[in-house]
Amino acid sequence: MARDRVTTLPAGDIATRNAAGQALVEAARDNPDIWVLTADVMHSTGTKPFAQAYPDRFINVGIAEQTMVGVAAGLATCGKTPFAATFAFAASMRACEQVRSDVAYPNLNVKIYATHSGLALAKGGTTHHATEDIGIMRAIANVTVLVPADARESAKAVKAAAETFGPMYIRLRRGADPVVYGEDFDYQIGRANELRAGSDVTLIGCGRTVAECVLAANLLDDEGIEARVLDMHTVKPLDVDAIQRAVEETELVVTVEDHNILTGLGGAVAEVMAEMATSVRLKRLGLPDIYAGIGPEEGLLKQHGLTSAGIAATVSSMLA
């Protein structure tokens, strides 16, 4: 199938975290119950505009992530919709017990707003990488896990989370990621978006890797390989129907994530496919059972085969 080849995607004109922060301000205009809490990182998380617009609904607890989640839980018991904002590594690991016991166990309406996810803080080193967080959060009962692909989808994810009851982990990025979506598109929690049709292989990405999957699909066109691209923006609950269609209509499924493959998107898809008892092959691309090194993010993505060229090369070798 001949298609117009796309070798690049437009650069984002706004950082993902800032788009999400602005969406919080907009959501709060119509919902006086929305509160925001941060662990002394309102600048870094893009939540300063909320603090300026609604100072009476903003709490900075200091560098105390566990306390932040506990306070958010308390607000939720009073009918509020709190967004607890900090870096992903701290939200998922430092405050893990509080997320599980204070928020998820009583099923409170708390949103964990986690920025700088995956390898976004690549030069910050292993302590600041968040490559286990999807697995941690999807293993906690009652928690919905959202992983938007770009700034526009991040804004929609935040607004959808504000309108949907229950504990949620919103995995946001740091900078201005490539633009995947146009101005108008459908977003529904729990339903994957098919960005491109294809009958040979299904590429499933979430977050930053969705853009790389789109570009990889175009590279594969040159080899006569038709790649379907799914944006699995909700890792929990997973869109099982979309995976079922991929299994029935393509001969290979490849998951791509800036996360450890053992517990993240790849693991979730593998679990679903195993229960389907399918013979369709699955390849999980991400970090193997290691910690990422320190360096530029693009360099780390390339090292682990998570760029468009690396994804295309993997597919080509498996379908040869």
Percent of the chain exceeding pLDDT 90 equals 91
Is-contact 38 69, C-beta < 8 A?
no
Backbone region of residue 207 per phi and psi (left: phi > 0; alpha: psi in -120 to 50; beta: other values): left
Task: Measure CA 189 to chain center.
Answer: 12
Contacts of 220 (CB under 8 A, 6+ apart): 200, 201, 226, 227, 312, 315, 316
Q: 249-290: per-residue pLDDT in tens?
A: 999 999 999 999 999 999 999 999 999 999 999 999 999 999
Q: 50-78: per-residue pLDDT in tens?
A: 999 999 999 999 999 999 999 999 999 99
* Catalytic positions, written as ranges: 65
Please provide the CATH number assigned to the domain covering 193-319. Answer: 3.40.50.920
Contacts of 226 (CB under 8 A, 6+ apart): 1, 197, 198, 199, 200, 201, 220
Is-contact 288 193, C-beta < 8 A?
no
Closest CA to 47 of 131, 158, 156: 158
Q: What is the mean pLDDT of residues 211-237?
A: 97
Intra-chain end-to-end CA distance of the chain, in Å: 18
For the chain, the domains span 16-171, 193-319
**pTM reported for the whole predicted model:** 0.95
Dihedral, CA of residue 294, residue 299, residue 304 and residue 310, to nearest 10: 180
Token reading at 317 = 């070798």
Give residue 268's identity as a one-letter amino acid code: A
Is-contact 286 167, C-beta < 8 A?
no
The pLDDT-based confidence of 176 (bands split at 50, 70, 90) is: confident
Contacts of 78 (CB under 8 A, 6+ apart): none
Closest CA to 258 of 228, 214, 292, 234: 292
Q: 23-54: per-residue pLDDT in tens?
A: 999 999 999 999 999 999 999 999 999 999 99
Q: Tokens 């119950």 appear where? A: 33
Does 193-319 match 16-171 at the fold level? yes
pLDDT for res 39: 97
Q: What is the mean pLDDT of residues 89-105?
A: 98
Computed over every residue of the chain, the mean pLDDT equals: 94
pLDDT at 13 over 90: no
Within 10 angstroms of residue 78's Cβ, the number of other Cβ atoms is 9
Q: 16-171 belongs to which homologous superfamily?
A: Thiamin diphosphate (ThDP)-binding fold, Pyr/PP domains (3.40.50.970)
C-alpha dihedral sign at 120, 122, 128, 132: positive
